[in-house]
């Protein structure tokens, strides 16, 4: 579906997405002569805060590159020489063959490059549509990220050629038609958002987790900017506008929690009417005790999930940061989220930034909800998410928060071998099943630092 010469542009544009525009000029505009090292050199020249840890991170990232027909098409998930590979030797790659597979199944995320045995060496891409995933659960959030990344590339390069290609426009429409279809939230594909709502939850998600809602909103806004109003495009844009308006109102009003809102919920009564204040029949006695101690007078956040009589009052980093970046929350709410992080620094950041969720489920509740899943460990920190925090801090004018968190990370991340995640209430211990030299830990640090 995507021609090879167009794909070369995809690789180059995707690689410079998070590079300052002044660095893009240093790389050059000759897509045919793309060299991974040129990106490293350009950033090294333009980054005044370069240090030994960044040098090490870039070198480790370059070693993880996967090549297909001479072009870099992705990275390995981890380069740990002491651990079993599992699915860590696979990663998303983007090419002509990959794109054709994408349209057939929009849940696919891994396309390992396979080499045929000698004497005839031949590289092929083998699509994995969830068959080797944990619990055979294929995530759908890759579709959201595909659209967001495409918009990011377009904004960075000021080049609309890629996003306006018929194949790419068709790809967006296929993804959006799936997401905007009636009953999408109950589809089997809506089981797990990879790397964002797995922690402390069963893989079969129930209700409407904030991570998915925020990503959905972000992808809709990005699509709205790129879709061409041709043929069925006009009708799709109308559906997007309608959903954006409804989602915006719903999240800002029903997912938001601060001291005032908590005090109101504490006094809720059971009601039966169209004008009911307690719309979701939340019984005050169901509010966990920890919420009252956790909620400061200054600050607030979007709670984890909202469903009738069952609200997940926990803090989830991904949903809150993406809500800031996509402007799903108001400027005042974005400021309150940053206030909360500062007020509850020890709880949310700890010794090794940063918590994906607070507080963690423990004991019998953790065992029954997650099914004893050892890759779903309570009190786990995922280092790759530092870039999301840094981006949210920059947007809200609070870069000092990100700087403080990054400085904490720099004390140990490299010395510990760039582990996948940390365990413990303060993030003191390298995770039990954490792989070393994890690509997302490395790139998360680099993007945050830049």
* 243 vs 372, higher pLDDT: 243
pLDDT digits (tens, 9 = 90+) for 379-409: 888 888 999 999 999 999 999 999 999 999 9
| Cβ pair 192, 203 in contact under 8 A | yes
Based on its alpha-carbon atoms, the radius of gyration of the chain, rounded to whole angstroms, reads 22
pLDDT digits (tens, 9 = 90+) for 312-343: 999 999 999 999 999 999 999 999 999 999 99
Instruction: Indicate the residue among 93, 112, 143 that finishes a domain.
Output: 93
286 domain residue, yes or no: yes
Residue 358 makes CB contacts below 8 A (sequence gap 6+) with 294, 314, 315, 344, 347, 348
Distance CA 108, CA 96 (A): 15
What domain range includes position 289? Answer: 256-449
71 domain residue, yes or no: yes
SS3 102: helix
Number of structural domains in the chain:
2
Is the confidence at residue 283, as pLDDT, over 80? yes
Distances (CA, A) of 214 to 197, 303, 396: 12, 12, 17
Encode 384-396: b = buried (16+ Cβ within 10 Å), e = exposed: bbbbbbbbbbebb
> ∠ CA 127-129-131 to the nearest 5 degrees?
105
214 domain residue, yes or no: no
Full-model pTM: 0.84
At 178, the pLDDT band (50, 70, 90 cuts) reads: confident
233 domain residue, yes or no: no
Instruction: Indicate the residue among 77, 93, 109 that finishes a domain.
Output: 93
Mean pLDDT of 415-443: 93
| Cβ pair 143, 219 in contact under 8 A | yes
Is the confidence at residue 58, as pLDDT, over 80? yes
At 230, the pLDDT band (50, 70, 90 cuts) reads: confident
77 domain residue, yes or no: yes
305 domain residue, yes or no: yes
20 domain residue, yes or no: yes
What pLDDT score does 333 carry? 98
| Cβ pair 340, 297 in contact under 8 A | no
* The pair of three-digit structure tokens given for residue 383, joined into one six-digit string: 């280092």
Alpha helix ranges (H) inside 18-165: 21-27, 36-46, 52-63, 96-104, 141-157
Given the structure tokens 């949310």, which residue do they identify? 348
431 domain residue, yes or no: yes
End-to-end CA distance of the chain: 34
| Cβ pair 416, 355 in contact under 8 A | no
Alpha helix ranges (H) inside 208-282: 210-226, 233-250, 259-266
pLDDT digits (tens, 9 = 90+) for 91-134: 544 433 333 333 333 333 456 666 666 665 678 777 766 677 66
* The pair of three-digit structure tokens given for residue 406, joined into one six-digit string: 């990054």
- DSSP conformation class of 252: I
pLDDT digits (tens, 9 = 90+) for 181-229: 887 776 655 555 444 566 777 666 667 889 889 999 999 999 999 999 9
| Cβ pair 157, 18 in contact under 8 A | no
Question: Quick one: three-class SS letters along 380-406?
Answer: EEEHHHHHHHHHHHHHCCCHHHHHHHH
Instruction: Indicate the residue among 75, 93, 111 that finishes a domain.
Output: 93
SS3 360: coil
């Amino acid at each position: 579906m995507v021609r090879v010469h167009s794909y070369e542009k995809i690789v180059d544009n995707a690689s410079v997405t998070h590079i300052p525009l002044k660095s893009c000029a240093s790389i050059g505009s000759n897509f045919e002569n793309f060299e991974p090292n040129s990106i490293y050199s350009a950033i090294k020249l333009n980054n005044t805060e370069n240090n030994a840890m960044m040098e090490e991170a870039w070198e480790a990232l370059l070693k993880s590159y996967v090549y297909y027909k001479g072009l870099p098409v992705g990275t390995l998930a981890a380069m740990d020489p002491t651990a079993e590979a599992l699915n860590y030797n696979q990663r998303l790659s983007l090419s002509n063959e990959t794109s054709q597979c994408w349209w057939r199944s929009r849940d696919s995320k891994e396309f390992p490059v396979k080499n045929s045995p000698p004497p005839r060496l031949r590289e092929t891409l083998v699509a994995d549509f969830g068959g080797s995933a944990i619990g055979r659960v294929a995530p759908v959030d890759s579709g959201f990220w595909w659209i967001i990344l495409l918009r990011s590339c377009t904004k960075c390069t000021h080049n609309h050629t890629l996003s306006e290609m018929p194949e790419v426009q068709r790809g967006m429409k296929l993804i959006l038609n799936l997401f905007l279809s009636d009953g999408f939230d109950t589809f089997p594909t809506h089981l797990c958002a990879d790397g964002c709502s797995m922690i402390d939850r069963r893989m079969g998600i129930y209700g409407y987790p904030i991570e998915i809602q925020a990503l959905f909103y972000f992808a809709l806004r990005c699509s709205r900017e790129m879709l061409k109003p041709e043929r069925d495009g006009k009708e799709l844009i109308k559906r997007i506008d309608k959903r954006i308006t409804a989602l915006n109102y719903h999240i800002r009003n029903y997912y938001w929690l601060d001291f005032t809102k908590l005090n109101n919920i504490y006094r809720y009564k059971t009601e039966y009417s169209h004008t009911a204040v307690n719309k979701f029949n939340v019984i005050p006695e169901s509010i966990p005790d920890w919420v009252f101690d956790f909620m400061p007078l200054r600050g607030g956040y979007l709670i984890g999930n909202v469903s009738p009589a069952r609200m997940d009052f926990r803090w989830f980093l991904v949903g809150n940061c993406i809500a800031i970046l996509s402007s799903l929350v108001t400027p005042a709410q974005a400021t309150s989220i940053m206030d909360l992080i500062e007020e509850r620094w020890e709880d949310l950041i700890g010794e090794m930034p940063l918590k994906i969720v607070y507080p963690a489920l423990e004991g019998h509740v953790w065992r029954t909800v997650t099914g004893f899943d050892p890759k779903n460990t309570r009190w786990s920190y995922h280092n790759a998410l530092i870039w999301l925090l840094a981006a949210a801090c920059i947007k809200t004018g609070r870069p000092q928060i990100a700087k403080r968190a990054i400085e904490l990370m720099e004390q140990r991340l490299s010395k510990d071998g760039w582990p996948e995640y940390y365990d413990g209430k303060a993030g003191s211990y390298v995770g039990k099943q954490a792989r070393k030299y994890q690509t997302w830990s490395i790139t998360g640090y680099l993007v945050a630092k830049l």
